[in-house]
A and B are shown apart, each in its own frame.
Chain A
Amino acid sequence: MSLVMSGTSARKKTAPRKSRKKRSTFDTTLGRAVLQLLAVAVFFALWEAGVHAGFISAFLMGSPSGIFATFYKLILSGELLSDSWYTLFEAILGFIIGTIFGSLFGLALWYSVFVAKLVEPFIVAINSVPKIALAPIVVLWFGTGLISKVALAVSLTALVALIAAYQAAKDADVDLQSLMISMGADKHQVFWKAVVPSTLPSIIATFRINIGFGLVGAVVGEFISSQRGLGHMIFLASSLYDLNSVWVGLFTLMILGFVLYYVIDIIERTSLPWKQATTSHQVQV
């Protein structure tokens, strides 16, 4: 009985392996990229066809041909590039400042359980405010220039970093800290040698979320009031019903976010070589 059953289960196990082998021509980096590009091409082709057939309103939706024409025009005039740089600069600056200050403050809370407990409800309260709602005040305080956008990006990123760093510091292995204390280490040494390094993976993990928040802060700040940037460009174009320009702005933002994501990915992989040793070990198993 059991023999028969194990026989069937073995056959069942081999069956999907065979079918996977069949598909493996596309299951490579190049194969997947071809499929992905194909999907994008089909999407744009259907859109364009819909506009030509009159199913889709070019006035409200724009059209791929119009988008490409606008894209080409804005590239040539240099507007797109300068707007992109401006927004990117705001986002990255906000991300860096917010992450550094947030992480440092979160780590510092490790030093005093008393202070940490004291400020915890305030942190939760501030965090529960949708930071975007601060945008109008931030513009009032910091003007319509670069600083207000950076400030908004900082307000979005700092709390994420703070909470992650504080939580990671709280979760740092107590046994490692005990070991250091038994060796005669003081609190600063325990902090710098045991706590801070063990929080780095968590802090670096927030980069991924925070780089996105940096872009959100920059774009929303530009929506409220600005003379430059992709947010400004999208806002202006949409008020003029220039849908093609709106799409160019949106797709550019998408590309920026995409590139930043992979930059963070590289930073994550190269900054923690000891984690790398872990993963490769696990993959082999």
Chain B
Amino acid sequence: MPPKQVQLTVQNISKSFAGKGGDVNVLDDLSFTINERDFVSIIGPSGCGKTTIFNIIAGLLEPDGGTITYRGKEIESLRGRVGYMMQKDLLFPWRTVMGNVLLGLETRGVDQKEAEEKAREYLKQFGLAGFENAYPKTLSGGMRQRVALIRTLIMDPDILLLDEPFSALDYQTRLYLEGVLKDAVQKFNKTVILVTHDIDEAVALSKRVVVLSGRPARVKVVHEIDIEATSPITARNDVKFSTYFKTLCAELDIQTETTS
């Protein structure tokens, strides 16, 4: 294996929001690193500020303190260079599938013809050829999320920020899309940060899992996931899978054995 190179460093990030009873400290002195072509899952108790981290990296929020370093250079944020996917597919209802896929390229000012050609190629690859002119409302949840994934990938972002992208889908669709995601990430050489509350998903997809503590969020522990599997489904059958699963459950203080 080649030596791991650090792509993104988040250092001493802090952020608080004004709440009813004074300021709420969501992130306090949070630091972690993401390697080139990494697949990192961030898990933690709900409401611990996982989405806030993403919003800061994506440039939607300004941190109160701390630095972000990208490939050795200190930057404000990765705005315009990240692919952000959320639980809601956030497809524009007034745009067709094609229009939605083109959204990012349009804002970038890419030539219309060139962009459409590229979009058609992507749609075909993800099994959505023939749906170019369909409106999002007429598609199933899985198809909509696939369109959102294409919209993200076609921008060729440096890092994919996935904020529980599959949690609103049923289990079968989720398994399928996990596979689609993993293939796409490998094919397009992408770095992924995935926020999830699904330990099972985190272990099956990631190379590393970062466990956060409750609010204010700090990194509790980082686990390397050493499973060589071709797909998220075979990963679940790996002998080491259940060990990782149990360890992570313990980290999150979820009881796996019934105690009397």
Chain A residues at the B interface, C-beta cutoff of 8 Å: 173, 175-176, 178-185, 189, 193-194, 197-198, 200, 272-274, 277-278, 281
Decide yes or no whether B259 CB sits under 8 A from chain A.
Answer: no
B94 touches A272 (CB 8 A): yes
> Quick check: B88 and A175 within 8 Å, CB to CB?
yes
| B106 adjacent to A193 (CB under 8 Å) | yes
Contact A193 B103 (CB under 8 A): yes
Query: What is the CA–CA distance of A180 and B100 in the complex, to the nearest angstrom?
Result: 11
Return the 7 tightest CB-CB contacts between A and B, nearest first: A184-B80, A182-B58, A185-B107, A182-B84, A277-B135, A274-B94, A197-B94
Interchain CA distance A184-B81 in the complex, whole Å: 7
Determine the chain B residues whose CB is within 8 A of the CB of A176 once the complex forms: 90, 92
Q: Which of A178, A184, A194, A281 has the most CB of B within 10 A?
A: A184
Q: Which of B76-116 contact A (CB under 8 A)?
A: 79-82, 84, 86, 88, 90, 92-95, 103-104, 106-108
CB <8 Å contact, B93 and A278: yes
- Total number of B residues with any Cβ neighbor in A under 8 Å: 26
With contacts A184-B80, A193-B103 taken as known, whether A179 is within 8 angstroms of B137 at the C-beta atoms is no
The residues of A that contact B82 with a CB separation of less than 8 Å are 182
Report the separation of the CA atoms of residues A189 and B102 in the bound assembly, to the nearest whole angstrom: 14
Cβ of A180 and Cβ of B107 under 8 Å apart? yes
Majority secondary structure, A binding face: helix
A277/B88 in contact, CB under 8 A: no
Nearest chain A CB to B78 CB, angstrom units? 9
B residues lining the A interface (CB < 8 Å): 55, 58-60, 79-82, 84, 86, 88, 90, 92-95, 103-104, 106-108, 135, 137-138, 155, 161
Contact of B103 with A281 in the complex, beta carbons under 8 Å: no
Contact B60 A182 (CB under 8 A): yes
Of B58, B80, B93, B108, the residue contacting A274 (CB under 8 A) is B93
Chain B residues with CB under 8 A of A277: 135, 137-138
CB distance from A7 to the nearest CB of B (A): 35
Given contacts A184-B107, A197-B94, contact A175 B86 (CB under 8 A): yes
Report Cα–Cα, A182/B148, bound state, in Å: 14
> Is B94 a contact partner of A184 (Cβ separation < 8 A)?
no
Cβ of A189 and Cβ of B90 under 8 Å apart? no
User: What is the CA–CA distance of A277 and B88 in the complex, to the nearest angstrom?
Assistant: 19
When the two chains form their complex, are residues B103 and A181 in contact, meaning their CB atoms are under 8 A apart? no
Using Cβ atoms and an 8 Å threshold, which residues of chain B touch A193? 92, 103, 106-107
Min Cβ gap A69→B in Å is 52
Taking a contact as CB atoms under 8 Å apart, the answer to whether B155 and A274 are in contact is: no
A173, A181, A274, A278: the one within 8 Å of B60 (CB): A181
Separation in Å of the B145 CB from the closest CB of chain A? Answer: 14
Report A-chain residues with C-beta under 8 Å of the C-beta of B92: 176, 193-194, 197
Closest to B81 in A: A184
Cα A179 to Cα B86 in complex, Å, equals: 9
